[in-house]
Amino acid sequence: MMVDLLARPLADAFMQVGVYVAVLVALFGWLRWRYGDRVTDGLTRRPRLGPLIGALLGVSPGCGGAIILMPLYARGKVSFGTVVAALAATMGDSSWVIIAADPAFALKIHILLFAVGLLTGYAVDLLGVDPARSVRRAAPTRAEARSPSRTAPARAEARSRPARPAPVLPAPVLMSVAAPNRPAPAAVAAAGGLRYDRRQALAGAFWWLTTPAFLVSVPVVFHAVDPQLLRTALGGVDPYLVLGCCGTLVALLIFSAGRGRFADDTIETAQPSSLREALRHSAHEASFVTVWVAVAYLAWQIVSTTTGFDGSQLALAGVAGVVVGGLVGLIPGCAVQIVFTGIYVSGGLPMPTLVANAISQDGDALIPLAALRRGAAALATVITTIPAILVGLALLTLT
């Protein structure tokens, strides 16, 4: 009873989703490391293709493709329609859940996301919407921001004035003034190195565990091998259950090593500087997805087992479901969206509700945009909700 209630959902999260997410994330991480600069360079040279490339980057699984565009928009290199196209097309890290659960349906929904993102992005550009245009025009230069009160004559006088010799201080005094109450640089570097080594070690353990788990998962999940035969061959040990629970545990350790952050998706990790860094980030992203899928699976199993609730009683159907799916997509980040998608995979949500959520959600890409241009981020997430509800209602009438 406890195996079916607790261990089985934890194993399923890793064996049915986590291992496939890991392989795909690693592939896309390698592509971003190898070709990421070429994509962004071509985008800045051909601004009219912005929404098209934005939709292509956004529809790629995960958040990295959309994240790349956010600093480019803040610097005025791409249009606001390009950003909206990427945000409407992206399904964030929840796309890994759909790909692992149903690749054929995942292809269809990603084609739909690309089309919606493309049309929405070009519509925004045709209407001339760009909330950051006035901000960029009024923004002072970096030097002016540091000393706004200095006029040109004052700066010329400062340049003509002879420089004063710097006072010579004894070394102990100089060290105490330069870094009061701060740990020694060597200690700081050592602490950072220990944290980095721990993340690297956990990432290595994740990949060593993923390899045999993938080899067991493929024949079991696709019903090519009877799990009972594997259990009998190993003397009663269920490799699916053992590898699955261990994989979810390692994913939880990696998730915890990130100090409780939902993910380490940043502008830097969207364009990794080395293959090793790409693999480390891939392990973190796959672990992030695995943990939240485990939460969804475990919660659903407990609720359905203890109450008899099977999803048919859920109010998230019809017009109300589409609206709720679009509004849930307004929540930034990927955690809630992964849980929402996990409920769909478990049979608890209708397809139009999921599509509305998929178009509306912006993944982790909204977070760096909010840090750079808060008003643009707020407007973008509202804009993507409009086609989300319209497309969801259209699908509702067709199904």
The pLDDT value given to residue 29: 72
328: domain range? 2-135+192-398
Query: Does 239 have pLDDT greater than 80?
Result: yes
326 close to 360: Cβ distance less than 8 angstroms: yes
Mean pLDDT comparison of 49-58, 216-225, 341-350, highest-scoring range? 49-58
Give the model confidence (pLDDT) of 251-309 as tens digits. 899 888 765 554 445 555 555 667 777 788 788 878 877 887 788 778 777 877 777 65
CB 298, CB 6: distance < 8 Å: yes
What is the rounded average pLDDT of the residues 212-229? 79
Q: By CB neighbour count within 10 A (0-12 exposed, 13-18 middle, 19+ buried), where does 236 fall?
A: exposed
Q: Give me the mean pLDDT over the 345-369 stretch.
A: 85
Query: Does residue 368 fall inside a structural domain?
Result: yes
Tell how far CA 380 is from the center of its chain. 17
In this predicted structure, what is the pLDDT of residue 141? 42
The per-residue pLDDT for range 71-110, each reduced to its tens digit, is 778 878 889 999 999 999 999 878 888 887 888 999 999 9
Residue with the bigger pLDDT between 212 and 309: it is 212
How much is the pLDDT for 165? 47
Instruction: State yes or no: pLDDT of 385 exceeds 60.
Output: yes
Instruction: Give 314-318 contacts, CB < 8 A, sequence gap 24+.
Output: 314/348, 314/349, 316/348, 316/349, 316/350, 316/353, 317/350, 317/353, 318/396
Give domain status of residue 270, yes or no: yes
CA 371, CA 332: separation in Å to the nearest integer?
12
Picking from 11-20, 254-263, 324-333, which range would have the lowest pLDDT averaged per residue?
A: 254-263
Map residue 62 onto helix, strand or coil. Answer: strand
Least Cα distance to 222 among 238, 240, 234, 236 occurs for 240
- Please tell me the predicted confidence (pLDDT) of residue 277: 78
The per-residue pLDDT for range 112-148, each reduced to its tens digit, is 999 999 999 999 999 998 887 755 555 544 444 444 4
Tell whether the model's pLDDT for residue 170 goes beyond 80: no
First to last CA, the chain: 38
Instruction: Identify the residue with better confidence: 63 or 184.
Output: 63
172 inside domain: no
Q: Exposed, middle or buried by CB within 10 Å (0-12, 13-18, 19+), for 25?
A: buried
Look at residue 95 and tell me if it is in a domain. Answer: yes
Q: Does residue 315 lie within any of the structural domains?
A: yes
In a domain, 324, yes or no: yes
Instruction: Supply the pLDDT for residue 349.
Output: 83
Read off the tokens for 21: 């997410």
Number of separate domains in the chain: 1
Average pLDDT, the chain: 75
| Residue 14 placed within a domain | yes
Residue 24 pLDDT exceeds 80: no
Q: What percent of the chain has pLDDT over 70?
A: 72
CA dist., res. 300 & res. 294, Å (int)? 10
CB 203 within 8 A of CB 283: yes
- Is 143 part of a structural domain of the chain? no
The count of other CB atoms within 10 Å of the CB of residue 156 is: 10
Task: Encode pLDDT of 176-205 as tens digits.
Answer: 333 444 444 444 444 445 555 777 788 888
